[in-house]
Chain A
Amino acid sequence: MKGRVLVVDDDTALAEMLGIVLRGEGFEPSFVADGDKALAAFRETKPDLVLLDLMLPGRDGIEVCRLIRAESGVPIVMLTAKSDTVDVVVGLESGADDYIVKPFKPKELVARIRARLRRSEEPAPEQLTIGDLVIDVAGHSVKRDGQSIALTPLEFDLLVALARKPWQVFTREVLLEQVWGYRHAADTRLVNVHVQRLRSKVEKDPERPEIVVTVRGVGYKAGPS
């Protein structure tokens, strides 16, 4: 299994410990301690996943996250010491797929990393429609009227999960489990932020969504085809 992980963290002890754990789980970690050098290291190592500390010397984690996201859809998992809504939401909005709050258990971290990497291993030839969008699951593409829309892998997964069962209303918890791979109830802010990001890309008018419809008090569902 592919497992190159770029660890962006300025705390050398933590980075080393992360390295020990990741190697123990069969990943290939590489390290960078400075926000300014993170992008260069990213281009160089071409990791399958980025573990990103939010507080960094030089460029901060949010900025690095934005830069990486601008040129790649590679999964980004934030490491954050703050669980305040604002910090988390800002991180997610800057493009992170998931976040994990310090202090975390090694198993938890590994589970999240695997959940993020798992997706790329199961290609199934399948064509779905949601609203006026055509989704090619195997080809990892979303098209409206022949024009393809660029989505990150996570957003793609979210859209596919909704499109596969257009009759079903997904609660945030169910989406967390299906898309993020959480086995226990976690923070539903993840879902909210990513649904918003997805809408901003696929909806004609994000204010009045037609593809990803909110079911008040319950969750989300796919719009009528």
Chain B
Amino acid sequence: MAGDSAASAPGRSGTRPERPVGRQGADPGRGRLFEGGLLQGGVQGSPVLRLFMRWVRRPLLPVMRLWRRNIQLRVVATTLLMSLGVVLLLGFVVIGQVRNGLLDAKVKASQSQATGGFAVAKQKADDEAASGGAGGATGSGDAAADADGRQSQSVIQWMSDLVESLSSGGAGAFDVVTLPVGDDSGGGRSPRGSGNVSPTDSVPGDLRERISDSTTAAQSYTRIVYKDGKESQPALVIGKQVNDPNGHPYELYYLFPLTQEEKSLSLVKGTLATAGLFVVVLLGAIAWLVVRQVVTPVRMAAGIAERLSAGRLQERMKVTGEDDIARLGEAFNKMAQNLQVKIQQLEDLSRMQRRFVSDVSHELRTPLTTVRMAADVIHEAREDFDPVTARSAELLADQLDRFESLLADLLEISRFDAGAAALEAEPIDLREVVRRVVGGAAPLAERKGSRVRIVGDQQPVVAEADARRVERVLRNLVVNAVEHGEGKDVVVKLAAAGGAVAVAVRDYGVGLKPGEATRVFSRFWRADPARARTTGGTGLGLSIALEDARLHGGWLQAWGEPGGGSQFRLTLPRTADEPLRGSPIPLEPKDSRRNRGLAAAGPARGGEEKRATVPVQPGGGQAPPLPAHAAIAPHLASVTPAVDPSALPGSGARVVPRPTGGTRHPGEPPAHGPGTDTYDARPDADGRKDPSEPGEAFRGR
């Protein structure tokens, strides 16, 4: 058990998606250490115990699984156990009753027999004493010793005769035993028994004690042991202290064999056991049959439900009769029918939608192509036009670009909505993609005066992903970061850990206002709808990026703080069918204002946290200053000559000019560190720019 929990611990600790995978590895380790320490302190040699437990458990596992999964087995087993209990209880009660009845009769008969016997023995002793006493009185004084010897001689004889005569009266129905009181075996009072009974072994010690203490009769149960090797028998023994003719006490016992009673009792027991066994087995069989009647339709329903959920919507249950099971079947079939109809409707709708999208696509695109070509021809020839016409030609060409990217983005979104987007995943190295994207964004970055740095590209970051989509997402993030980075550096960070890879794009621009971290992914969302847009972007870029991430089973999350920039993080599972449990990169960057505050408060962590602080100072050393221009650009130059990233579909960049004067919005909270926060499944972070630089671009994504 302990082994199980240790093995599953890494998985469990990953349920909080925010936690970076890198730290996950340490947590279970700590847990194990703690657990191990506890165990070692408590139980010596606990590993051996654990091994033993595992060894015992292993062969039981299939049985346990069957037990858990099979309701029929459970019901039958429970029925068997419970009926066995009932039958055992009944058996004990009945057997007790029968035994008491049998023994009561026997004991009464025995007691009267024994009482008679004791009386006879007393009578005989008195008679003998009377006759012996008369003879003794006539003898002289020196003859006393002789008389004593003769007397003892005669007592021995007398005792033997007594035993003989007493036992003969019962005709084998009982045996008689005499024993001397205490250890005194002299004077002819050695143990005697009739019918080969071993006198000392057959009489229990505690009975002898009781008899020697009193003069009344006492009884007990015992086993008669025979001297000639005959099998011992259960018996009732009744004993009493009696005087011999000389007035010396001896113990006289009557032993009544209970053979007959025991035979009767074992017959009853046998009968009861047989009957009980039959009852239990029959009850088990009945339970099996009854449960089968219920379980079979349930199993059938389960099987059909599984097939239904696997998409075979025409599957139905067979309904017979009018009982509850039949009603279940009818209800089930009705449900399946409704499901089938609804799904059919939805499928039709979806097909129509897809068809519509496809048709619109074609119908719109063909004339647009003509317009596009015509505009380009006019644009090429604009030098021959008068200035107004030339400018119009330019505007026409520019806006056609925007129209095109808007149309492309719209179609892409509707493809996602229609569920028609297909993932073509294959193992790709995200470093390649990132370098391509950064290379493509280099001209824009140059114009904006910022540099794009790549961190964490020493090792391959390979994941099963659709290169086209991942590139689109990253291009969107990088172009957004550059557009809103206010000329400060943009850091693209790669990491892989556990079953996940992540790319985080960090900028140090205006950041995000409260609640914007979720809203940036909304369609056509902009920071302030009252303001006009001045630069390109369709407003669909991040929505498409989010859908792309979802299609991979990944996450796209945003974090931002007022004036401290933002970080967008794309997390993808390493293999396409693996669910994500965490991201290798924390959503809130280490150099966020809050984290820096924490680092300053706790100097123990300070050294590590300082690593990637505000990149405006290039002397940081840790991160090499921008390989993007130097190392990557040549590599890409052969493949990718300047594509204007702002013209790409889905760049999503929109900059809204801010009214000069830098006045705060009414009700705008002052910029503070504590205002920042990181959210998860649906990330939500806030950021509001400190309006210290008037006239600056206000951002929306």
By a beta-carbon cutoff of 8 Å, the part of chain A in contact with chain B is 11, 13-14, 17-18, 20-21, 24, 55, 79, 81-82, 84-85, 102-107, 173-174, 177, 183-185, 187-189, 216-217
Contacts and interface: CB of A to CB of B under 8 A. Distances in A.
Contacts, number: 77
A169 to B, nearest CB: 13
Given A82-B358, A187-B468, A104 B369 contact: yes
Contact of A18 (B373, B415, B436, B467): B373
B639 A17 contact: no
30 contacts: A13-B367, A14-B366, A14-B373, A18-B373, A20-B373, A20-B377, A21-B373, A55-B362, A79-B369, A82-B362, A84-B420, A85-B424, A102-B365, A102-B369, A103-B365, A103-B368, A103-B369, A103-B372, A104-B369, A105-B372, A105-B373, A106-B377, A173-B639, A174-B639, A177-B639, A184-B639, A185-B436, A185-B639, A217-B427, A217-B462
B654 to A, nearest CB: 23
Contact of A217 (B362, B374, B429): B429
B362 A14 contact: no
A106 B640 contact: no
Interface in B402-449: 404, 415, 420, 422, 424, 426-429, 436
B641 A217 contact: no
A183 B638 CA distance: 8
Contacts of A107: 376
Contacts of B471: 185
A217 B426 contact: yes
Nearest to B362: A81
B377 A24 contact: yes
A183 B640 CA distance: 7
B277 to A, nearest CB: 65
Nearest first, the 3 closest Cβ-Cβ pairs linking A and B are A81-B362, A102-B365, A81-B365
Nearest to A87: B358
Contacts of A14: 366-367, 369-370, 373
B361 interface: yes
Interface string B456-487: 00000010000110010000000000000000
A103 B365 CA distance: 6
Contact of A13 (B370, B422, B428): B370
B377 A21 contact: yes
A25 B61 CA distance: 78
B643 interface: yes
Contacts of B643: 184
Contacts of B424: 85, 189
B365 A106 contact: no
A104 B372 contact: yes
B640 A185 contact: yes
B374 A17 contact: yes
B624 to A, nearest CB: 26
A157 to B, nearest CB: 19
Contacts of A21: 373, 377
B376 A184 contact: no
Interface centre among B420, B427, B639 (most CB of A within 10 A): B639
A22 B467 CA distance: 34
Contacts of A55: 362
A125 B372 CA distance: 42
Contact of B376 (A13, A106, A173): A106
Contacts of A216: 427
Given A85-B422, A217-B462, 14 more contacts: A13-B370, A14-B369, A17-B373, A18-B373, A20-B373, A20-B377, A82-B361, A102-B365, A103-B368, A104-B369, A105-B372, A106-B373, A184-B641, A187-B468
B429 to A, nearest CB: 7
Contacts of A103: 365, 368-369, 371-372, 404
B75 to A, nearest CB: 52
A81 B376 contact: no
Contacts of B370: 11, 13-14, 17
Most chain A Cβ neighbours within 10 Å, of B358, B373, B641? B373
Given A18-B373, A84-B415, A106-B373, A183 B641 contact: yes
Interface in B355-390: 358, 361-362, 365-374, 376-377
B422 to A, nearest CB: 6
Nearest to A55: B362
A61 B399 CA distance: 31
Contacts of B371: 103
Contact of B467 (A17, A81, A188): A188
Nearest to B401: A105
A80 to B, nearest CB: 9
Nearest to A85: B422
Contacts of A173: 639
Contacts of B420: 84
A216 B361 CA distance: 35
Contacts of A104: 369, 372
A189 B468 CA distance: 10
Contacts of A217: 426-429, 462
A103 B643 CA distance: 17
A17 B467 CA distance: 34
A11 B363 CA distance: 10
B355 to A, nearest CB: 12
Nearest to A216: B427
A61 B641 CA distance: 33
A174 B471 CA distance: 17
A43 to B, nearest CB: 27
A18 B638 CA distance: 30
Contacts of B367: 11, 13-14
Nearest to B426: A217
Contact of B366 (A11, A177, A185, A187): A11
B573 to A, nearest CB: 16
Contacts of B372: 103-106
Interface in B637-652: 638-641, 643
The CB with the most chain B CB atoms within 10 A, among A107, A177, A185, A188, is that of A185
Contacts of B404: 103
Contacts of B369: 14, 17, 79, 102-104
A183 B361 CA distance: 26
Nearest to B403: A103
Contacts of B641: 183-184
